[in-house]
Amino acid sequence: MQIRIFTIPIMGGEMLAEEMNVFLRSKKVIQVKEHLVNNDSEGAFWCYSIRYVDDVAAAEREKVKVDYREVLDEVTFKRFSALREIRKRVALEDAVPAYAVFTDGELAELAKVEVLTPEIIKQVKGIGEKKLEKYGHHFLPKSANDEKSK
């Protein structure tokens, strides 16, 4: 595992931000920590500490691809497909890779449940409190979202 630090000024840091985004897309990112730094002489800037694995291709080759159409029954696969469409929309809105929202494995586990609740989502391996808070409401039934907004 390696670490790379990016410092991006609040004002005028667009080019550096794009450089970081290119870097992030080319690596298997393990963790990103961000800190806002306010320095009187240099102004305010974001400091990002990124832990990553350099060889994304090797990391991807190690993963076994699962055909969920074969693994899941027909009804569950339909729910899985619907969840993937939601994930795709959310990923586009947030400009993140789809797997950053929920992985296929996480979606497959969610698809096995007829009615999702925050408690059920949180029980899926790989979905913690932060992921639930950030993305979970997109996958809840409309009535659960309405109650949450009250």
Residue 136: CATH number of its domain: 1.10.150.80
Task: Provide the number of structural domains found in the chain.
Answer: 2
**Neighbour tally for 121: CB within 10 Å:** 21
Statement to judge: residues 108 and 131 lie in one domain: yes
Statement to judge: residues 73 and 140 lie in one domain: yes
Among 139, 131, 88, 90, which Cα is nearest to 110's?
A: 139
Cα torsion through 137, 139, 103, 50, rounded to 10: -20
Q: What is the pLDDT tens value at each position of the chain, 150 positions in all?
A: 789 999 999 988 899 999 999 888 888 888 999 999 998 887 899 999 999 887 655 555 556 788 889 889 999 999 999 999 999 999 999 999 999 999 999 999 999 998 999 999 999 999 999 999 999 999 998 765 555 544
- pTM exceeds 0.75: no
CB 75 within 8 A of CB 82: no
Statement to judge: residues 117 and 44 lie in one domain: no
Alpha-carbon distance 69 to 52, whole Å?
32
Residue numbers of the domain that contains 27? 2-60
Statement to judge: residues 71 and 51 lie in one domain: no
